[in-house]
Amino acid sequence: MKSHSSLKRRIGKRPIVIWGARMTGIGLVRYAKSNGIDVLAFIDSDDSLKGQQVNGIPVYLPEMLAKIQVDHPNLILIVAVSIKETEILLVLNALGLRNLDRLVYSDFSDLFYTIDVVGTCNLRCLSCAHSIEKHNVPRGLMKYQDFTRVVDKIIAESNLITHISLYSWGEPLLHPKIDSIIRYLHDRNIAVALSSNLSIRFENRLEKVIEQSPDYLKISTSGYYPEAYNNTHAGGDVNLVKSNLYKLRYLLDKHKAGTLVDVNYHLYRDNNGINLEKMTELCRELGFVLSTVHALVMPLERVIRHCEGQPDFQTKLLTDNLLVDIDEGIAASKMDRNSIGVCGYRDNQVNINSDLTVPVCCTVFNRDSNVVANNFLKASPADIQKRKNLTEICKKCMSYGLPAYNMGSNRAKWDEIAATKESRDVGQATTTLDGVLNSLSISPSSQIKRKDIA
């Protein structure tokens, strides 16, 4: 039975290892700590997490699992991810760990929730819905009171809820009450995931956020030098991003925050050489995780238009810079047999837009027939699910194999395709000290004078 008490009963006094060191796993750690459960380690197949500590718990690659089991024969493994569970269970079997006592977190929880507290972004990346100029999507913020009502409803309707993500299409750090929003969730023992482009002049908002120690903060970026970054993160300033990364390190240390900072680097042809090396170096220096993802085209409506032979002009502009174009990505993802005819987004995930509408899933953007509830506060989970199952766009999406494309399934094949493309990395050594200081609104000469006085 799905419930908090049945999970607690199944674990008993045994130590656990959690497969999945990102949001679902981090939420489970919060739950474990408040229930006196000993967490020995995280397991994650993502190389970028190897050797990291998340919430003070070490992360190991799957190969270490057998050794941990020798030292702790009574451990229980809990697979805690929102999608790709099947893939993990196959890896476990391939590792010869069929007999390892294991649980799947989603067997005990109902749904994974995302609340898009901000309906807009300060940037206009070509690969993103925000580059569409004319659309019918409200650009407002979720009111704080509405947010609290949404959370209260989620808690009342859930058997087990350990984390909530605060981003889908929006930039959550633009919300003036984002610190209170994080606090509201933490007061209810719910872990918080944020994502930001970090290309924002924060004043004191970043410090207010870090004071609340959000559990996970993804930073999306696409270059180290302006020439590469500006091609894709349109309207952003990578020097401002870099200065904010330094500030973030300082604030994390100052407030002893346990936030996992995951710099998510979108790979393009113009940034996969020296730009990537330099950003990797910077993240190493600052103690942040650097994970990579092949840039793909969003939202789903745009990909469908491409599949129907009517790509919009942003897609055409972007295509030449993609390491894996839409058709190649779809073909690569389809080769993953586990993803055929399956959608990991529809059944166990609920997104709530800033205007309280509920889309069929996080990949769609428009407010039309993709919306399955006009007001989350007035819709039951059963109604939402029923409407999802009737949505027309899912049929098209499935027929083109797009759920797997959106997940970037079969990463090894995407890497293989990308390796056949010539890198056109741009912007080497063009960032100057002046550039960084300008983004901080500090003139180089005033810096020098202060240093001299000191």
Residues forming the site for ligand SF4 (CB under 6 A): 121, 123-125, 128, 130, 171, 197, 220, 233, 300, 343, 345-346, 360-361, 363-364, 393-394, 397-398, 402-403, 406
Tell me whether residue 171 or residue 262 sits nearer to ligand SF4 (CB atom). 171
In angstroms, what is the minimal distance from the CB of 197 to ligand SF4? 4
| Residue ranges with strand state E in 93-224 | 102-104, 112-115, 163-165, 191-196, 216-221
In angstroms, what is the minimal distance from the CB of 343 to ligand SF4? 3
Tell me whether residue 82 or residue 220 sits nearer to ligand SF4 (CB atom). 220
In angstroms, what is the minimal distance from the CB of 353 to ligand SF4? 14
Tell me whether residue 55 or residue 333 sits nearer to ligand SF4 (CB atom). 333
Any idea what the Cα angle at residue 262 is, between residues 256 and 267, rounded to 5°? 160
Dist. CA 77–CA 265, nearest whole Å: 30
Dist. CA 398–CA 340, nearest whole Å: 9
Tell me whether residue 194 or residue 402 sits nearer to ligand SF4 (CB atom). 402
In angstroms, what is the minimal distance from the CB of 133 to ligand SF4? 13
Tell me whether residue 123 or residue 191 sits nearer to ligand SF4 (CB atom). 123
Give the 3-state secondary structure of residue 430.
coil
Cis peptide before 214 (omega within 30 of 0): no
Which is it for the CA torsion 26, 28, 34, 35, positive or negative?
A: negative
Q: How far is CA 220 from CA 228, 238, 240, 292, in A?
A: 14, 11, 13, 10
In angstroms, what is the minimal distance from the CB of 333 to ligand SF4? 12
Dist. CA 321–CA 232, nearest whole Å: 9
In angstroms, what is the minimal distance from the CB of 346 to ligand SF4? 4
Report which residue type is found at 199: S
> Exposed, middle or buried, 372 (CB in 10 Å: 0-12/13-18/19+)?
buried
In angstroms, what is the minimal distance from the CB of 219 to ligand SF4? 10
Dist. CA 247–CA 207, nearest whole Å: 9
> Exposed, middle or buried, 211 (CB in 10 Å: 0-12/13-18/19+)?
middle
Tell me whether residue 171 or residue 237 sits nearer to ligand SF4 (CB atom). 171
Non-local CB neighbours of 281 within 8 Å, separated by 6+ positions? none
Tell me whether residue 115 or residue 125 sits nearer to ligand SF4 (CB atom). 125
